[in-house]
Amino acid sequence: MKRKNLSATKKTLNFYLAKLKDPQIQKLYKVFSKNLESLDLINKKIMVGVSGGNDSLNVLFFSLCYALKHKVKLYPVIIDHKIRKESTNEAKYLKYKLKKYFNINCKIISRKISKIDKNLQSYARDLRYELFLKECNKHKIDCLLLGHHKDDLIENFFIRLLRGSGLKGLVSFHKNVTDYNGLKIVRPFLSTSKNELIETNKKTFGFFVDDPTNNNDKFLRSRIRKLLKKLDNEGLNFNKFYLTLKNLSKSDQVIEFYVDKNILENSKYFEKDKKIILNQSFFHNPEEIILRSITQVIQRISRKKNYPRGKKVISLIDSIKFSNKNVKLTLSGCIIEKIQDSVIIYPEK
């Protein structure tokens, strides 16, 4: 290695090690590293989603600290969704800033926009995950780090509450580690507030890129964010609310245990024919257990990314349970056929 490169490496190492001496930064690094220590990083590679916000820049900073300490290879990625005309310039500015002042090489990934036939923010989120997954597969990376925090968790709860979600939907964002088509998605700061991340970022990179949609009332999340500020001013204790959310998550885990038990004991999968047969006892469970169980088996057969809609699944269950005749229905790319006391689920051709 050239002398200049050795000097730059030493300077980079000193920058991060010096910052870690700060008590506040050291505290967050412990939270961060604890989340990563439980993972099995097979290829010693990590991808980091960098949006330019305080949250993602914190994840980037602590990922670099972790990579230096544990000899892990880092892949920082910026997604340019191209939905807003300013997004490309913002991505280029973020890439330039991180390279010039911190010697961090980020890759910008984008894709030409196809027809948007759903909620704009949902489209942007799905696009980000698809692009991340494709890039991770390309480099054989099985771990993606994202910067969601405690405030996102609470916002997500209220958004789903307004949309009529059940328990699973309300707490679906609560896990620090989730799976997306075989990719581990890690959110190390779900127990950390936005304000804490803002203060930490001031001491590390010292800048952020603001997303104008955060203050745009056109989007539900922005309106919820403003509502939560008002509730905070009225005395709603978000720390206690967060504990309530954790308790709800524990209840959800109990339900998931019985869902797994129901599928294991009352269904049989035939690999050759790609079909699942459910016996009569599969439907002798509380409504929520049946709903989640049949949703999971349908998704397994259809292999679609999204779960089938709850209302359609409930209607399907009612048709199976309360009909004395044979039933043949379709849902989410599957044929669901009731024949006497059994239900067969197989893919549509």
pLDDT per position as a tens digit, 165-182: 888 888 877 788 888 888
pLDDT averaged over every residue in the chain: 88
Q: What local confidence, expressed as pLDDT, does residue 248 receive?
A: 92
Question: How would you class 144 by CB atoms within 10 Å of its CB: exposed for 0-12, middle for 13-18, buried for 19 or more?
Answer: buried
pLDDT per position as a tens digit, 68-109: 888 899 999 999 988 888 889 999 999 999 999 899 999 999
CATH of the domain at 259: 3.30.465
Residues 77 and 127 in one domain: yes
Q: Write down which residue in 236, 269, 295 finishes a domain.
A: 236
196 falls within a domain? yes
243 falls within a domain? no
CATH of the domain at 84: 3.40.50.620
User: What is the C-alpha separation between 298 and 296, in angstroms, rounded?
Assistant: 5
pLDDT per position as a tens digit, 204-224: 999 999 877 777 777 888 888
Q: Is the pLDDT of residue 307 over 80?
A: no
Residues 185 and 163 in one domain: yes
pLDDT per position as a tens digit, 275-298: 999 999 999 999 999 999 999 999
Q: For residue 13, is it left (φ>0), alpha (ψ between -120 and 50) or beta?
A: alpha
39 falls within a domain? yes
Those residues with Cβ within 8 angstroms of residue 153's Cβ, 6 or more apart along the chain or in another chain: 173, 174, 190, 242, 245
178 falls within a domain? yes
Q: Which stretch of 22-26, 52-56, 65-69, 133-137 has the lowest confidence by average pLDDT?
A: 65-69
209 falls within a domain? yes
25 falls within a domain? yes
Residues 125 and 220 in one domain: yes
pLDDT band at 202 (very low <50, low <70, confident <90, very high): very high
3-state SS, 150-198, equals: HHHHHHHHHHHHHCCCCHHHHHCCCCCEEEECCEEEECCECCCCHHHHH
Q: How many domains does the chain have?
A: 2
Residues 258 and 140 in one domain: no
Q: Which stretch of 30-34, 56-60, 232-236, 312-316 has the lowest confidence by average pLDDT?
A: 232-236
Residues 158 and 272 in one domain: no
Q: What local confidence, expressed as pLDDT, does residue 10 receive?
A: 67
Instruction: Supply φ then ψ for residue 246, to 5 degrees.
Output: -65, -40
pLDDT band at 9 (very low <50, low <70, confident <90, very high): low
31 falls within a domain? yes
Q: What local confidence, expressed as pLDDT, does residue 5 receive?
A: 56
Q: Write down which residue in 236, 271, 300 finishes a domain.
A: 236
Length of the chain: 349
What is the extent of the structural domain holding 338? 250-347
Q: What local confidence, expressed as pLDDT, does residue 86 receive?
A: 87
pLDDT more than 90, % of the chain: 52
Strand order in the sheet with 143-145: 107-110, 73-80, 45-49, 143-145, 183-186, 177-180
Residues 87 and 229 in one domain: yes
pLDDT band at 51 (very low <50, low <70, confident <90, very high): very high
171, 194, 238, 246 from 175: Cα distances, Å? 8, 18, 18, 10
Residues 118 and 226 in one domain: yes
Q: Is the pLDDT of residue 34 over 80?
A: yes
Residues 65 and 178 in one domain: yes
Residues 148 and 83 in one domain: yes
Residues 172 and 35 in one domain: yes
Q: Which position has the token pair 């759903």? A: 118
Residues 8 and 125 in one domain: yes
241 falls within a domain? no
Q: What local confidence, expressed as pLDDT, does residue 1 receive?
A: 44
Residues 171 and 144 in one domain: yes
Q: Write down which residue in 188, 209, 236 finishes a domain.
A: 236
Q: Is the pLDDT of residue 269 over 90?
A: yes
pTM, to two decimals: 0.82
pLDDT per position as a tens digit, 249-268: 999 999 999 999 999 999 99
pLDDT band at 124 (very low <50, low <70, confident <90, very high): confident
Q: Is the pLDDT of residue 193 over 80?
A: yes
